Structure 1
Amino acid sequence: MRVGTHGFIGARLTEARQARGMNGTELADLIGVSPQSVSQYEHGKQSPSPEMLELIADKLNMPLSRFTREVSHSESNPIFWRGKTTATRAARDRAEVRLIWIREIIDYFASFFHFPSLDLPKLMDSPKDFRQIDSDYLETAAASVRMHWQIPDGPMPDLLLEMENNGIVISRIHVGVEKLDAFSQWSSAYRIPIVVLNRDKASAVRQRFDAAHELLHLVAHSKIDPKRLNSASDYKIMEDQAHYFAGALLLPADEFTNDLWSPTLDGLLALKERWKVSVGAMIKRCKALSIVDDESEKRLWINYNRRGWRRVEPYDRKIEKERPRILRRSISQLLLEGEQSVSQILSAVSLAPKDIEELCDLDSGALTDDTADVRATPILKKKIQPDEGNVVNLFRRKITRISSSELECP
């Protein structure tokens, strides 16, 4: 009689398969069974033998414990995909699994840390219908974010730092396709927003723009009926709004206009390193601010393409990418304080070391070498004194936060 594995959960196999970008047939070929057997495993109609499960875990590079781990609750809030219309279903499945993993890592950290409190501006006079949001509203929204977060005039400093300081959890992953730039979701369990960026993007300036783009979805689109996201026309409206907002946030009208000596490709390129915004985004911002007319914009794009900048712009590889800090430093702090060992972290999270390293923006080998970045800043709960009012339990939603100076440590 065939003996299955006690406690096996089929949904975890589906998750692991999708995470590795495989369909059922590909996995079946890899482990030497029929596609029907894989389907039965995943739907709970049959349990693989212990030997078969070991083979599956090895081929998918997953710890055995992953397949008997209880499935976390599903999220009802919509995911905002940047690149939804061009990304394949398999690419989105692969990315969505990593969103599940990020939530599980946050849940693990909840036992140890207070994180920055959520501090997003409440936009006044917001239209009830998102389709009524216009450029004036988006300009005001961008200015409100800068004012609320006390960002100085001029170029945005470190956008990922500002977002993390204000309670947004950020991760970067290898999506495997360039068409899926970024995505975001509000976690209903913890009432926090999560932004995931594509590590495969070529440049720092495009990553910053993606982060700013997702920020608009968080502050203005969070209460939209999820069904709207299935409408191609409504989806395009929201994406266009997020694009406009990103330009307004990164290139505030007065300061950018005063800094621009000539609305030419060379004039825009001269500002790229200072503002850390692509020339392409600056062209669109010039048009939005009526610095150039339709004909001038058309000539700019023609010359832009002639120079081969559509694929790679000058300075794309020179400007350093911003890195999320909070998840990386959480692991570092656990190790530094001796609260958890590497083996305990791997056991508790139940993911492969390389997956945790990616999701938490750790250097490659940080967990496999039993070492980690020790320059961490999250504060362990047991260390908090009554007079320390600058930290917050992310999961009880008090209104205080870790200071910028703490997160800005190298």
Structure 2
Amino acid sequence: MKLRSGGRTMAAINNIIHISQAARGKHPGRLLIPARLTEARTAKKMTQSQLAAQIEVSRQSVSTYELGTKNPDPEVMVRIARVLQQPMTYFTREEIPSFGNRSTVFFRKTGADTKKRNQACAVHADWLVSAAATLANYAHLPQVDLPSFEPSGVGVCYTDDEIEESAESVRKHFNLNHGPISNVVRLLEAKGVIVCRQKMEGENVGAFSFWSGDRPFIYLASDRKSAARARFDAAHELGHLCLHRWIGEDEVDDADRLKEIEQEADRFAGAFLLPRKSFPNEVFSSRAEGFIELKSRWKVSIQAMAYRCKDLGVFDDRQITNIYKQISYKKWRTTEPLDGENGLPFEEPVVLRKLTDLLLDSGKVSAADVALEIGPSPDILSQILGTDRLRMGVESRADAPDLSLK
């Protein structure tokens, strides 16, 4: 990755900011960009009523703030920033950097119980895009090199053979042989996919993916206990990026159609990680213990390998049922051999972290300025970028006394 010369000038971050000063610029006196308040509240999965109770105003007041018909008083604005845990500057920024319009985001679930979670994830997706787009102002990102597919028939679904062939085409496009892939996340990053691993407290988020303009993104949860399952998540999202770029929100909102889409991505992940031309030749036993060594080699969960054997007809239905009974008896449903801290290592993304280091080490811009341009709190940026350097830079700026000559 090469550092790009130049880059637009950014205002330095103020650690103690007066509300009236925050609004100066194109819109003198304006204290709040309504969309930023909605985003920050949505990311916290809070309703307007819940936010209103914590900042000690009416629910109607919060509604007027988000509609842009009324600005909060300075002391209320301070409470908003504190409750939503965002810097004051976040609420006064007009634009969030991006590569273009965001495509459909592929979440695994729908329904009223997950609507808030999905909306919060969408905000985190925008923050991830903002981080990558800001860094792209100063450094070259890896070139995007992903093939794309569409079903060949008159319907909207792929056949099983089409998915198998697509996975084989992707492996060939990536110049892979028929053996195990050493590191899926690094491979995706090398092909231009921006990957981050971030923990969302209290949420059951495995992964999701989307496009921003012509740039693909994959978001992985950091609370997975199994590196093999996290690796399958990454391959599953690659399936969405290659197979489903043309799918719209209306299809994802249909629970039955979403189920089909997710099954297609699962089949792609299995075919991509465990090729039909090689993996079956290494399966010699239908005993659950026989898959442990295979898991060490292929870095795929025992349950996923058993399902792949079902897809490929390696075992009959009775044998597959018996394998799953063994898995249940051994209590491997949630934690298998080679999971956990002493198991297979997690594949961590590195591109955003290395770009951040490259930029800050160049001295062309400060950590505080980069944090200001990306937008959300330094704590969130630390997770998105995989480094504490922006947060530490902002904190060190806050600790520095303001000294000047008379």
Aligned partner of 2:306 among 274, 280, 283: 283
The match for 1:332 is 357
Compute the displacement of 1:61 (Å): 1.6
Paired AA for residue 119 in structure 2: D
Q: Give the RMSD, CA atoms, in angstroms.
A: 2.2
Which of 366, 369, 390 pairs up with 1:344?
369
Aligned to 2:265: 242
Q: Who is 2:59 aligned against?
A: 35
Cα deviation for residue 107 of structure 1 reads 2.1
From 109, 116, 134, the equivalent of 1:83 is 109
- Structure 1 residues 46 and 34: CA distance shift in structure 2, 3 A: same
1:348-359 equivalences under 5 Å are 348-359=373-384
Q: Secondary structure at the match of 1:171?
A: strand
Alignment of 1:7-46 (within 5 A): 7-46=31-70
When residues 87 and 200 of structure 1 are mapped into structure 2, their CA distance, relative to the original with a 3 A threshold, is: farther
Q: 1:93 is matched by which residue type in structure 2?
A: Q
Assess, with a 3 A threshold, how the Cα gap between structure 1 residues 197 and 86 changes in structure 2: closer, same or farther.
farther
Shift of 1:160: 0.8
Deviates more, 1:238-247 or 1:72-81: 72-81
1:253-272 matches, within 5 Å, as: 253-272=276-295
Structure 1: distance between partners of 2:73 and 2:361: 40
Aligned to 1:112: 138
**Structure-2 separation of matches of 1:127 and 1:78:** 23
For residue 122 of structure 1, report the CA deviation from its aligned partner.
4.6
What is aligned with 1:176?
A: 201
Q: Is the 8 Å Cα contact of residues 272 and 279 (structure 1) preserved in structure 2?
A: yes
- Identify if the C-alpha distance between structure 1 residues 50 and 125 changes in structure 2 by more than 3 Å, giving closer, same or farther: closer
For 1:9, give the aligned amino acid: I
**1:122–1:23 distance in 2 versus 1, CA, 3 Å:** closer
Aligned counterpart in structure 2 of residue 221 of structure 1, from 244, 247, 250: 244
Among 306, 331, 336, the alignment partner of 1:313 is 336
1:65 is matched by which residue type in structure 2?
T
Q: State the partner residue of 2:92.
A: 68
1:351–1:225 distance in 2 versus 1, CA, 3 Å: closer
2:257 counterpart of 1:231: no
Cα distance change of structure 1 residues 331 and 87 upon mapping to structure 2, 3 Å threshold? farther
Letter in structure 1 aligned against 2:51: L
Aligned match for 2:320, one of 261, 275, 297: 297
Distance in 1 (alpha carbons) for counterparts of 2:372 and 2:312: 53
Contact 1:91 1:176 in 2 (8 A): no
Offset at residue 53 of structure 1 (A): 1.0
* Cα distance change on mapping 1:103 and 1:76 into 2, 3 Å: closer
Q: Is the 8 A contact 1:130 1:221 kept in 2?
A: no
Tell me how far 1:9 sits from its aligned partner: 1.0
TM-score normalised by structure 1 residue count: 0.83
Q: Secondary structure at the match of 1:313?
A: coil
Give the Å deviation of 1:209.
0.7
> Could you say if the C-alpha distance between residues 266 and 12 of structure 1 is closer, same or farther in structure 2, counting changes exceeding 3 Å?
same
Q: Sort the Cα spacing of 1:99 and 1:286 in 2 relative to 1 into closer, same or farther, 3 A.
A: same
Alpha-carbon separation, structure 1, partners of 2:239 and 2:113: 21
Q: Give the structure 1 partner of residue 232 of structure 2.
A: 209
Give the partner amino acid of 1:312: T
Which whole-Å deviations, capped at 9, do the CAs of 1:184-215 have from their partners, x for residues lacking one? 11112xx1111111212221111111111111
Aligned length: 364
Which residue identity does 1:66 align to in structure 2? Answer: Y
Three-state SS of the structure 2 residue aligned to 1:146 is helix
Q: 1:177–1:146: structure 2 CA closer, same or farther, 3 Å change rule? A: farther
Aligned partner (choices 172, 182, 190) of residue 147 of structure 1? 172
Return 5+ residue gaps in structure 1 as ranges: 372-410
* Cα distance per residue 1:150-184 (max 9 Å; x no partner): 12331111101111111111112223355432111
- CA separation of 1:187 and 1:247: change in aligned 2, threshold 3 A: same
The amino acid across from 1:350 in the alignment is: G
Shift of 1:125: 7.4
- Tell whether 2:93 aligns with 1:93: no
Displacement of 1:86 in angstroms is: 8.8
Which stretch shows the higher mean deviation, 34-43 or 72-81?
Answer: 72-81
| Letter of the 1:359 counterpart | I
Contact kept? 1:177, 1:200, Cα under 8 Å: no
Tell me, what secondary structure is at the counterpart of 1:118? coil
Distance 1:177 1:273, change over 3 A: farther
| Letter aligned with residue 114 of structure 1 | H
CA distances 1:72-122 after superposition (whole Å, capped 9, x unpaired): 488352111123459611111111101111121222122111111111125
Counterpart residue type for residue 91 of structure 1: R
Q: Report the CA distance between 1:263 and its aligned residue.
A: 2.5
**Does structure 2 conserve the Cα–Cα contact (< 8 Å) formed by 1:94 and 1:175?**
no
- 1:56 offset after TM fit, Å? 1.3
| Superposed structure 1 runs of 4+ greater than 6 Å apart | none
1:192 matched to 2:252? The reply is: no
